Structure 1
Amino acid sequence: MQIKPNMPAPPRLFKLSTMMWLSAFCALAWLFIELALLANSGSPLAWDRSIMLAMRNPLDLGDPIGPRWFEELMRDITALGGTGILSLLTLFTCSYLVMQKNRTLAWFVLITIGTGMFCSFALKYGFSRPRPDLVAHGSYVYTSSFPSGHSMMSAVVYFILCGILLQTQTRRRIKVFMLSCTVLVVLMIGLSRVYLGVHWPTDVLAGWSAGCLWALFSYRLLRYWQKR
């Protein structure tokens, strides 16, 4: 029997990249659900308390470890995940996209980040976990504790904007650098919340997982829209 040349390969049900995205979705969703169940149990976990106390002077729990300038630096870092800073950054980005005649992408950024912020407040209202009372707060707070809004919204905003910027680059080294900087900023914002005593570590982990889940979904939605 003669074999025909250039026969098309049989189609695969799922591409490897699709499987990786689905695995990431499932892992982040599972992590958030597990943390939500732990947070809903009432009392803080032992490792929540241990991590928070490790960041405090054992002789004075109202004094975070490190010099004064480091404590002030943590306040500066935590401000990067505040509602005001993130809202301004989003509005500036959308304004720039409109000026570049890219209104559709501007609306996409505004809607995805706006709905992410709504989900953050809805989750806080739904769980209503009290703020930590183990140590004195180093920052003013006015909402409930779970999940950390700073951690969640910093992941949503910075990763969505990073995803858009990555599409403007072709060099792999530049892409890795941009993504690494984004990850570092998001991690530092979450850690600053625990350092300042306004969140349990489980709050921050839940915020990271929910924020990354939302940003990942938004980015995949953007890629699907661009291909169409």
Structure 2
Amino acid sequence: MVRSVQGESPPHGNPDDHSADLRLGIRLTLAVVAVAIFTVPFVVLLVLVKTSSSPLRSFDEGIALQLHAQALEHPGYTAFLNVATEVFGPWTWRGLVLLTAAWLWYRGAPRLAVWAVATITFGGLLNLAVKGIVDRARPDLPDPVASAPGASFPSGHAMGAALGACILVLILLPFLRTPASRIAAWIVAAVIVVFVAYSRVALGVHWTSDVVAGVALGVVVVVGTAVGFEAWRRGEGRKPVEPPMEGIEPEAFR
């Protein structure tokens, strides 16, 4: 039996360890909340679409008809949307992520490169799987101004924009030195994603619920893989970070 020396206080651990554990718990809680925030609307919309909810159908049709009338009244603007929606289409984001991954590999950050490619690939495959399961018809409007193949729910363009924009911002963050610049990067990404989602509804190739579900599912995929990557970092004994403000693997660029 080991006897304690008289007057010697028993070890209670390093206070810094307790502080680190507390911060880790807060980060994990916030990550779970973030996933829930975007998972809940997707699941709700999925259920409403599968059950052919009358309120959702009326809501979608009302917005679709209103935006379609505007598209017919402004052919120049509609032509711009047709070009812009493809410029920010899924293949653009896939190409940007692949090029960024190649650069990351060259810079000596192979794990980050694999995370980026795996995230956007998994997201794309998940989109196709959900489309096949739900098999929702696209809007059938008079005098259509655009067309798109395949099922409607969730929007591949909206999900691709959410995936690509989030992935690229998370990689870019370590190069941005001030909180203001990092917040600005997220704002720019959000504006692009919202514009892509809007363009798909305005062109009459998706319902509003399609694009909302696409954005939500894209964010869920990124948050989920980011949490997994951060858990691996901690398992390797690396300093915990806050990915939304510091990036996925900031030490790779130091």
Whether TM-score is above 0.5 comes out as yes
Pick which of 43-52 and 125-134 moved more: 43-52
Distance 1:50 1:212, change over 3 A: same
Q: Which amino acid aligns with 2:227?
A: R
Select which of 12, 24, 29 maps to 2:34: 24
Q: Please give the alpha-carbon distance, in whole angstroms, between the structure 2 residues aligned to 1:105 and 1:164.
A: 8
Say if 2:65 is the partner of 1:53: yes
Pick which of 118-127 and 135-144 moved more: 135-144
Deviation at 1:80, TM superposition (A): 3.5
Q: What is the 5 A alignment of 1:151-162?
A: 151-162=158-169
Distance 1:88 1:14, change over 3 A: closer
Q: Please give the alpha-carbon distance, in whole angstroms, between the structure 1 residues aligned to 2:158 and 2:152.
A: 11
Larger helix share, 1 or 2: 2
TM-score (norm 2): 0.78
Counterpart in the other structure of 2:153: 146
| Contact kept in structure 2, 1:139 and 1:198, CA below 8 Å | yes
Secondary structure at 1:199's aligned position in 2?
A: coil
Q: Please give the alpha-carbon distance, in whole angstroms, between the structure 1 residues aligned to 2:143 and 2:206.
A: 11
Counterpart in the other structure of 1:36: 46
Counterpart in the other structure of 2:247: none
Counterpart in the other structure of 1:102: 109
Q: Which amino acid aligns with 1:94?
A: A
Secondary structure at 1:198's aligned position in 2?
A: coil
* Structure 2: unaligned runs, 5 residues or longer: 1-8, 237-254
* Structure 1: unaligned runs, 5 residues or longer: 58-62
Distance 1:122 1:69, change over 3 A: same
Q: Which amino acid aligns with 1:138?
A: V
Counterpart in the other structure of 2:82: 75
CA deviations on 1:158-201 (whole Å, 9 max, x unpaired) are: 10111111122230011011110000000100000000000000
CA deviations on 1:78-105 (whole Å, 9 max, x unpaired) are: 1144232122212211221122222222
CA deviations on 1:5-39 (whole Å, 9 max, x unpaired) are: x9946865973333222112112111111100111
Percent identity (aligned)? 25
Deviation at 1:221, TM superposition (A): 2.5
Q: Please give the alpha-carbon distance, in whole angstroms, between the structure 1 residues aligned to 2:105 and 2:78.
A: 39
Q: Which amino acid aligns with 1:37?
A: V
Number of equivalenced pairs = 220
> Once superposed, what is the RMSD of the aligned Cα atoms?
2.5
